[in-house]
Copies of this chain bind each other. A is one copy, B any other.
Amino acid sequence: MQDRSVALDDTHDPARRSWVASANGHPDFPVQNLPFGVFSPPGAPARRAGVAIGDAILDLQEAFRAGLFTGEAAHAAALATDGPLNAFMAAGTEARHALRARLSELLAEGAAKQSTLQAMLHPATQCTLHLPAAIGDYTDFYAGIHHAVNVGRQFRPDDPLLPNYKYVPIGYHGRASSVCPSGTRVRRPVGQWRASADAQAPVFGPTRRLDYEVELAIWIAGGNAQGSPIPIDEAFDHVAGFGLLNDWSARDVQAWEYQPLGPFLAKSFATSVSPWVVTPEALAPLAEGRAGDHDRDAAGDAVYGGAGTAGAVGVGDQRASSLLDRRAAHRASHEQRLQSAPG
């Protein structure tokens, strides 16, 4: 298999500092990260692409219009400016890399154009964050055997891990239209569940077993023609970025409804995803083989190529990059039993 590692360059230099003071030492958004998202500035409902830098968001639309990008970076910025980021995500690795390199240069200490850019920064806390892309499909995978066994035990105590688990990626399509940006209020769903395991009939009411799962979100872009598989070696070219995802679940509803067709209403009321898309380039220094203390077992949970499951795409660019795939990280899955009425 081809080496898909991303080359390290000046954008990864841990010594690089930004003239945006809050970025230096920022736990999420130092100048080495530069994730992309879609936001509305204070008082302006229109959506546009932005880049997180420290406590601020750089308005990518304004920066593009000011002529701060040339060549491949300008091409990439043009695709991104109007948000959603679908066309930009579908443009692939080179376009994304070029835009990142130029943004790093513009935001680094000592950069020219600093005063021009300063006027394009908005305080993040005053902005509204949106979904970064129009999501055409959303697939939830079982990607860790420990999670598969633990969850399986909730529903099938005697038979937690099914024989297919070790052969084929186990996943299901979720509801794409109820994926919402992190922070969106989620209403406790009502539905059918059994008051006891041997009850013959269900009751109807607010779920009593609302659960959350921290998962890894993988943004998949650049579709394939229906019926044409993506070779494993090319799968990573379709990964536009990463985020965290909260797979809300009504476990009592799920236990009642999930056979034979899988999770449905127990999951479809909401799925929260980070509004910021962290690029593969930003994560390059953490790639396996680079970080000495890297957790190989955990990394091994997420090596399924997207090829077998990357869906065919039929209706143009906006759709072409609209697949949201994810692999479960499940390093912090806990059941949350809240007994109150729905909020």
Q: A-side interface residues toward B, CB under 8 Å?
A: 84, 131, 134, 136-137, 139-140, 142, 152, 155-156, 162-164, 167-168, 170-180, 184-187, 191-192, 200-202, 223, 226-227, 256-265, 268-270, 308-309, 311-315, 318-319, 322-323
Contacts and interface: CB of A to CB of B under 8 A. Distances in A.
- A contact face: mostly helix, strand, loop, or mixed: loop
A50 B188 CA distance: 42
Given A136-B176, A270-B226, A313-B177, A264 B171 contact: yes
Contacts of A269: 226-227, 312
A47 B269 CA distance: 34
So how many copies of this chain end up in the complex? Answer: 2
B262 A263 contact: yes
A176 B264 CA distance: 15
Contacts of A268: 173, 309, 311
Contacts of A314: 131, 177-180
A167 B202 CA distance: 8
A177 B322 contact: yes
Contacts of A261: 140, 142, 170-172, 258, 262-263
26 contacts: A84-B315, A134-B319, A136-B177, A137-B177, A142-B261, A164-B202, A164-B256, A164-B257, A164-B259, A167-B192, A167-B202, A168-B192, A168-B202, A170-B261, A172-B262, A173-B174, A173-B175, A173-B268, A177-B314, A177-B323, A178-B311, A179-B314, A187-B226, A187-B227, A227-B270, A270-B312
